[in-house]
Amino acid sequence: MEPADVEETIRNGAALGCTEALFTFGERPEEEPGFMEYLTRTKYFSILDYCEAMCRKSIDYGVLPHTNAGILTYEEMESLRRVNASMGLMLETTANIPAHAASKGKEPAVRLGMIEDAGKLKIPFTTGLLLGIGETIKDREESLIAIRNLHKRYGHIQEIIIQNFCPKSGTPMARNPVPGTDEICATIRMARDILQKDIAIQIPPNLIDASLLISCGVDDLGGVSPVTIDYINPEHPWPAIEELKTLVGDSQLCERLCIYPQYVKKGWYHPDLEPLINRLAQIVKARSRVS
């Protein structure tokens, strides 16, 4: 997106009461032919410089940034921490699988290393598993144990996403089978048994019938937007808030920020973000009382 388009999107989101701007893009896009020509036209010299500038723009509009930028170094995360309330990287799996063979950034040790660096930096972090990419049940167990061990050391994993792979036409995995509800439910229950109780378990409500999975141990439905599509899975529209209220059944639907309350209390954010975090926390609290 061009800078003007990013700013317009954030402005519209702020006007509609959004509290989070998700910044996400392909891993090291500068390595792709033609990308630097495009980026130079925006007057930025790296995607991370561009991202940081747009995060600052988001803060100016009163919306908290959350960046998921693929593999980052310790120093890059340290820099982005100044303008992000939280960050994320899907672990996907600790297994070495054919689906990841062409991407060096998908090496399990590399991804675990970045998640560990986030812990050292006290960054409230989102990670998770991607189901149906060639991993086994044992692989899923090992992945959850790896996440548990990192959280035991650093205490920074605020949520994990249990996400089903969605095949896309024209790709090598276009005909891969999609995990069924029972399989996803079993994985959620496994996660609930393995992980610490303070880690929320999230499922994406636009990719699976969440109403069938709430009782399996789900306590978070991620973010939905009245402004943008799900750019990763554009063929799956977001449910509206009223749909979510129906979907959760007897459970209560409560709004949250992209930084969980326990990390707000700990002060795990850059001091420059404190006024905005505190203001939005009060707004979310007031809206929850009304709803």
Contacts of 153 (CB under 8 A, 6+ apart): 116, 119
In order of start, what are the domains of the chain with their CATH numbers? 83-290 (3.20.20.70)
Task: Determine what percent of the chain falls in helix, strand and coil, rounding each to the nearest 5.
Answer: 45, 10, 40
> How far is the C-alpha of 38 from the C-alpha of 23, rounded, in Å?
18
- What pTM did the predictor assign? 0.95
What six digits make up the tokens of 245? 């209220």
**Binned average pLDDT, 10 residues per bin, the chain of 291 residues:** 96 97 91 91 92 98 97 97 98 94 91 98 98 96 98 98 92 89 97 98 94 94 93 92 92 94 97 98 87 57
Query: Residue 105 to residues 28, 70, 157, 185: CA-CA distances in angstroms?
Result: 9, 8, 20, 28
pLDDT at 6: 97
What are the distances in angstroms from CA 249 to CA 217, 228, 244, 246, 256?
14, 26, 9, 6, 19
The tokens for 92 are 């996907």
> What's the confidence (pLDDT) of residue 279?
97
What pLDDT is stored for residue 162 in this prediction?
A: 98
Q: How many residues does the chain have?
A: 291
Query: Please, are residues 284 and 220 in contact by the beta-carbon 8 Å criterion?
Result: no
Alpha carbon 178 to its chain's center: 21
CA dist., res. 161 & res. 148, Å (int): 14
